[in-house]
Amino acid sequence: MGRLGRFRHIALRTYASIDTRIRPPRGEPACNICGCKLRRDQTLWSQRELASCSVCKSTLRFRSLMAALQLRLYGGLEQALARVAPDKGVVGLGMSDASVYSYWLEQKFSYTNTFFHTRPYLDIRKPGTQYLARNDFVISSDVLEHVSAPLDSVFANLHALLRPGGVLVFTVPYALQGQTVEHFPELHDFEIIGKKSDRQLINRTQDGREKIYTDLCFHGGDGATLELRLFSLPDLLAHLEQAGFQNITVHAEDHPEWGIVHTDRMGAPVSAIA
């Protein structure tokens, strides 16, 4: 078992050990994923990527993402995901979802977490026919900023994964105004060379020109997670509408009882209905 596999095995064993019958004291904020206590320092709750649940180590991004899904599926946030009654008639699909919440989605729904580099595979640029038009929900958290263009087809494929009435819930870092910034606007045939801070991207454009880029931004430190763009919210909404999505919602509201407090709303989850 590889390093990632060992980590995932330990993480899933940890989540499975959570006793979902135990509830935090009345009125005390809890994690809307596992239902356990949040860390006492409330300033941690608003840090998008900082683990602030005392048990499952959920972040604001993960809690707000699952809150958006719960609001779409149930119309409210009455209980933590870990305490929701299983409904295997609901089919869901994840795109490299974190085990913090994918474990519970697997327990509650007919849910499959997919990956770009390992099984079960899903390349959103060319999704397999086995995934099309069969999902009640699709989740994508901080993935789309790493997917190569054209974006119109990417959002069209996201729509194609869903049944009519199915919901897409996703996060990406975005600016509230302006236009999407493509870091490599002529990206075509490229490779990444070097290591760590010395990495470079060498791109050969469609007309044969070679361009070299330095000062690359990687999320998580893996070359496969190169940031290709910074979205703008207006462009995101336009892509969703063009792909046929309706009832588009930006979930920037606070739910302090579930540890969801946004001080920086650039990156709050977005949901839309197919």
What pLDDT shows up at residue 224? Answer: 54
Query: pLDDT-based confidence at 65, cuts 50/70/90?
Result: very high
- Write the single-letter amino acid at 10: I
Question: Is residue 79 one of the residues assigned to a domain?
Answer: yes
CA distance 269 to 71: 12
Asked whether residue 155 is domain-assigned, the answer is yes
Number of structural domains, the chain?
A: 1
What does the longest C-alpha to C-alpha distance in the chain come to?
65
Q: Give the integer Cα–Cα distance in Å for 62 and 132.
A: 25
pLDDT (0 to 100) of residue 4:
42
In a domain, 43, yes or no: yes
- Residue 219 confidence (pLDDT): 80
Please indicate, yes or no, if residue 115 is contained in any of the structural domains.
yes
Backbone angles phi, psi at 174, to 5 degrees: -150, 155
- The CATH number of residue 24's host domain is 3.40.50.150
Report which listed range, 192-201, 213-222, 234-243, 263-272, is most confident: 234-243
List of residues 6+ apart from 33 with CB closer than 8 A: 53, 56, 58, 62, 63, 66, 80, 81, 82, 100, 101, 104
Distances (CA, A) of 175 to 170, 238, 262: 15, 14, 15
Spatial distance between the Cα atoms of 184 and 228, rounded to a whole number of angstroms: 7
Given a cut of 80, is residue 16 above it in pLDDT?
A: no
Q: What's residue 8's pLDDT?
A: 46
* pLDDT reading at 221 higher than 50: no
Which of the four pLDDT bands, split at 50, 70 and 90, describes residue 59? very high
Q: Where are the alpha helices (DSSP H) in 132-175?
A: 151-160
Give the domain extent around 31.
3-182+227-273
Q: Which band of pLDDT confidence, cut at 50, 70 and 90, is reported for residue 7?
A: very low
Query: Dihedrals φ, ψ of 209, to 5°?
Result: -80, 145
Average pLDDT, rounded, for the chain: 90
Q: Is 202 within a domain?
A: no
Please check the confidence at residue 79 and state whether its pLDDT lies above 90. Answer: yes
Kind of pairing between the strands at 174-175 and 229-232: parallel
Please name which of 103, 84, 233, 78 lies closest in space to residue 170, comparing C-alpha atoms.
233
| Comparison of pLDDT for 135 and 20, the residue scoring more | 135
| Amino acid residing at 213 | Y
Q: How far apart are CA 49 and CA 258, in angstroms?
A: 16
pLDDT, residue 165, reads 98
Structure tokens at 55: 């048990």
Tell me if 187 is assigned to some domain: no
Q: Is residue 217 part of a domain?
A: no
Query: Is residue 86 assigned to a domain?
Result: yes
What is the spatial distance between Cα 119 and Cα 116, in angstroms, rounded to a whole number? 8
